[in-house]
Amino acid sequence: MAYAWVLWFSFRRYSAYRLAALGEAVSNTVFGFVRGYVLLALWQATPGLGGYTATDAITFSFLTQAMIGPVQIFGGMELTQRIRTGDVSIDLHRPADLQLWWLADDLGRALYTVIGRGTIPMFAGWLAFGILFPPAERWPAFLLSLLLAVVLGFSIRYVISILVFWLTDSRALDSVAIVCSLFLSGMILPLVAFPGPFQTAVRALPWSGLIQVPADVYLGRSPDLLGSFAFQAGWAAVLLLAGRLLTRAAHRKLVIQGG
């Protein structure tokens, strides 16, 4: 129950900054239009690219803008700063698992951003372009895929944060992680537009589970739903295990900066 409370209070903490969430939602919407017109021009020049229609492409644009917040494409974790300042020593003294604590915190954040930042871009895309909404029976599959994407995104960011115990500075890793998250997830350009062998290689990496896989489920372009879920869950499990092993090692070798 402790982790449920962490999730709830995280949701309340992020919901306190409603004007900030509104500003981010408006920004995401503006970039949804920018990306949407770029993708629309690309699909009009090459109809049926990657099996997507032009409507699929414009829907992909606004959907992925709505997913930026929940999946946290651009952001790191508060844990990184706590390690650098030494405040993580307080976290390690709590009678709770460090990884599960921050996972619950991240789920609370993601839950609020789905509501606070995800609805406006989708509504604007529907008004301007009539973007697609999946039938009722597809919503549970998409929401499950989105949840797995959130957990997968957390597992990647958690590993990067824990490495700060040894590196003491995560700026280089954060920069690499953001580049990978943008280009290898489908955020910049849908992975379906990549050439065959390169697309196959990129789709095998964990970042594709953040954006491309949930988007395909949403659009009904995922021929194997169980395979999609297994891909996301498998990578999340591997990275969560890596994070747990690193956390145990950090307990044995703790360097506190400024504490």
Give first-to-last CA distance, the chain, whole Å: 31
Q: What does the CA dihedral 176, 182, 186, 187 come to, rounded to 10 degrees?
A: 170
Q: How many Å apart are CA 113 and CA 67, to the nearest integer?
A: 9
Local confidence band at 140 (pLDDT 50, 70, 90 cut-offs): very high
Q: What does the CA dihedral 56, 62, 64, 67 come to, rounded to 10 degrees?
A: -140
Q: How many Å apart are CA 117 and CA 68, to the nearest integer?
A: 9
Q: Given a cut of 90, is residue 58 above it in pLDDT?
A: yes
Encode pLDDT of 20-51 as tens digits.
Answer: 888 888 999 999 999 999 999 999 999 988 88
Specify the pTM: 0.92
Q: List Cα–Cα distances, 54 to 129, 220, 223, in angstroms.
A: 11, 15, 20
CA angle 244, 228, 100 (to 5 degrees): 25
Report which of 76, 111, 73, 109 is spatially closest to residue 187, judged by C-alpha positions: 73
Q: List Cα–Cα distances, 173 to 161, 162, 179, 217, in angstroms.
A: 9, 11, 10, 30
pLDDT of residue 211: 95
Q: How many Å apart are CA 254 and CA 47, to the nearest integer?
A: 55
Q: Three-state SS across 13-55?
A: HHHCCHHHHHHHHHHHHHHHHHHHHHHHHHHHHCCCHHHCCHH
The residue with greater pLDDT, 253 or 63, is 63
Comparing 5-9, 223-227, 255-259, which segment has the lowest mean pLDDT?
255-259
Encode pLDDT of 184-236 as tens digits.
Answer: 999 999 999 998 899 999 999 999 999 999 999 999 998 899 999 999 999 99
Range 160-173 average pLDDT? 82
CA 176 centroid distance within chain:
15
Looking at every residue in the chain, the average pLDDT score rounds to 89
Range 136-155 average pLDDT? 95
